[in-house]
Amino acid sequence: MSLLPAATRGVGLTSQRTRDRMVSRLRERGVRDERVLAAMSEVPRHLFVDEGFASRAYEDAALPIGFEQTISQPLVIARMLETVRAGRDLERVLEVGTGCGYQAAVLSHIATQVYSIERIAALLEIARTNLRPLRIPNLRLAYGDGYKGLLEAAPFDAIVVAAAAPEMPVELTRQLAPGGRLIVPVGLEEQRLILIERRDRGLVETVLEPVRFVPMRIGKR
């Protein structure tokens, strides 16, 4: 039984069955973190895309959300969250690049408290509208430049960046708690996911797979 009201539950191409199929495909592609998979089976992704795209919401594709931005591909989100969680219980998490709010909603199922920051005010409003019917108590949205992180809520056990930074956003590494993990796409034409871990002896960097994200930009809009 879904706890969502009928209007948000969706039928046919936006139903729980469709969502479960998406999760099966993520499993087939190697995603193992049951907590992440459960969260993605829970969050109604079709509520975060324009109505015209709702029937494609569960395809493994990035879709337009306006303002030249996209909702990230489910497989990429799953891999990033699995990597940044690393089997830990997460207390505080920061997302940079709220966009339509989808990943923030997924994060709210796998962490105690989630903060998400967005630089485009109009998109943040759209995210608020998308998230309202889901009544998520442990998610705070902030308007600002994610390059600066969110000092007032730091330190974070995990930081997930949803836009590609030309260079490593150093301030974000400073806002990691001990043992904390940051995952961020870095690069211009050629982007790669980079994982940064804060260990006792300092920061450890691991270069992961190539990806394709919209660019991270400086300042608010």
Residues identified as active-site: 72
Least distance in Å: CB of 130 to ligand SAH?
A: 10
Q: Where are the alpha helices (DSSP H) in the chain?
A: 6-9, 16-28, 34-42, 74-85, 102-110, 121-131, 170-174
Query: Binding of ligand SAH at residue 214 (CB under 6 A)?
Result: yes
Angle among Cα 109, 112, 114 to the nearest 5 degrees reads: 80
First to last CA, the chain: 41
Instruction: Confirm if 187 and 194 have CB atoms less than 8 A apart.
Output: no
Q: Does 58 contact ligand SAH by CB under 6 A?
A: no
* Alpha-carbon separation of residue 163 from 35, 74, 99, 118, 152 (angstroms): 23, 15, 10, 11, 22
Min separation Cβ 206 and ligand SAH, Å: 22
69 touching ligand SAH, by CB under 6 A: yes
Q: Is 175 in the site for ligand SAH (CB under 6 A)?
A: no
* Contact flags string 99-138 toward ligand SAH, x per CB under 6 A: xx-xx-------------xxxx--x---------------
* Residues in contact with ligand SAH by the rule CB under 6 A: 69-72, 96-100, 102-103, 117-120, 123, 145-147, 162-163, 214, 216-217
